[in-house]
Amino acid sequence: MGKRILCFGELLLRLGAPSREFLLQSRHLDVHVGGAETNVAVSLARFGHRSALAGTVAANALGDGALGELRRHGVDVSRVARADGRMGLYFFAAGAGLRPSDVVYDRADSAFARAAASSYDWPALLDGVDCLHVSGVTPAVGPNAAESALGAVRAARAQGTTVSFDGNFRPKLWATWNDRPAPLLHGLLAEADIAFIDHRDIDLMLGSDASETGAPASAERTLQAATRAFAAFPQLQRIACTQRTVHSVDRHALGALLVRRDGSAQRLDPLPVEGIVDRIGGGDAFAAGVLHGVLSGLDDARTLAFGLAAARLKHSVPGDFNLVGAHDVDALVDSGRLDVRR
């Protein structure tokens, strides 16, 4: 039986323009359920872990439908509260050619954003949990969500639960209420055992260091910045991230890096990701894959390979969720074969 993981964040509805149209180019929108932490919860459930979501959703038909979708994928939603208010939404237009994808958020005043931090009984919610996963998206939603996220990681730290944090910086969300996100993100990272961050996240929280050199998205820059992060955050044991090169909307290359506090590192050079169907949730798929490896006791090399393969596979799956199982990921890691299974 897999480990018990609790993900805390907002369950969202994604309304996407069909095919590669602009939003409202035609009067149709495709609906998917998602959200950064929710995506991780679904992946971990499909990898065989006992995965649960904590949060607050609207007490209406939209909330019912979203929760039902999570149950269908094996996620425990018994820790999700129901409340008056609205569902958080985001609108998505997939890019094409030289036109990048675009996201429009509509999350203000959602039931999750309105939920008071005092509404979450963290000792009870974390009872029996092996790992708590949160992300930088949650505090960006608003002051209540930020206070709740800090309460969650501090409670987890106090009772010895492993804390996972994904930086997931969302400037559009922060701009709606807080122009100084660094202190809040710093507080979350201070409680983390494992963090999904790169040099840009570290620079945001600790300030940039002119002595660090390298290409803007290079593994070298992240390795240099990781030294500062480990010095600043004594609880932190692992840092993992992807390195993405975008050749076009349909063709990327994806590499990965995993660094430990002792300075040891695993690095995977970029591999092609072509014929992209949907890149949303790729980072969440990577985080879930790495967490699967860590919680399953895999060595660092296998853990990173599993995380990168999970992220690459997500690009072939429509919607936010990565619907592949551990056997699919292992098959890509072990052989890279894409033959029809008969």
- Domain of 251: which CATH number? 3.40.1190.20
3-state secondary structure of 95: coil
How do residues 54-73 score in pLDDT, each as one tens digit? Answer: 999 999 999 999 999 999 99
Q: What is the pTM of this model?
A: 0.96
Q: How far apart are CA 125 and CA 101, in angstroms?
A: 36
Q: How far apart are CA 195 and CA 238, in angstroms?
A: 6
pLDDT for res 218:
79
The order of strands in the sheet holding 30-34 is 30-34, 12-16, 88-93, 102-106
Would you say residue 336 has pLDDT above 80? no
- Residue 339 included in any domain: no
The tokens describing 207, both together, are 């300030």
The tokens describing 342, both together, are 């008969």
Answer whether 108's CB lies under 8 Å from 87's CB: no
- Residue 336 included in any domain: no
pLDDT for res 217:
62
- Residue 118 included in any domain: yes
pLDDT for res 340:
54
- Residue 339's pLDDT band (boundaries 50, 70, 90)? low
pLDDT for res 337:
63
pLDDT for res 300:
97
**Amino acid of residue 177:** W
- Residue 341 included in any domain: no
Determine what percent of the chain is predicted with pLDDT higher than 90.
Answer: 90
Domain count, the chain: 1
Average pLDDT value for the chain:
95
- Residue 205's pLDDT band (boundaries 50, 70, 90)? very high
Would you say residue 342 has pLDDT above 70? no
How do residues 8-44 score in pLDDT, each as one tens digit? Answer: 999 999 999 999 999 999 999 999 999 999 999 999 9
The sign one gets for the Cα dihedral 189, 78, 170, 116 is negative
Reference 142, options 171, 178, 196, 106; nearest CA is 178
- Residue 335 included in any domain: no
**Amino acid of residue 11:** L
| Domain limits for position 93 | 4-330
- Residue 149 included in any domain: yes
> Which carries the bigger pLDDT value, residue 98 or residue 64?
64
- Residue 120's pLDDT band (boundaries 50, 70, 90)? very high
Q: How far apart are CA 304 and CA 297, in angstroms?
A: 12
Q: How far apart are CA 134 and CA 79, in angstroms?
A: 15
- Residue 340 included in any domain: no
How do residues 123-174 score in pLDDT, each as one tens digit? Answer: 999 999 999 999 999 999 999 999 999 999 999 999 999 999 999 999 999 9
**Amino acid of residue 105:** Y
Would you say residue 319 has pLDDT above 60? yes
3-state secondary structure of 106: strand
- Residue 342 included in any domain: no
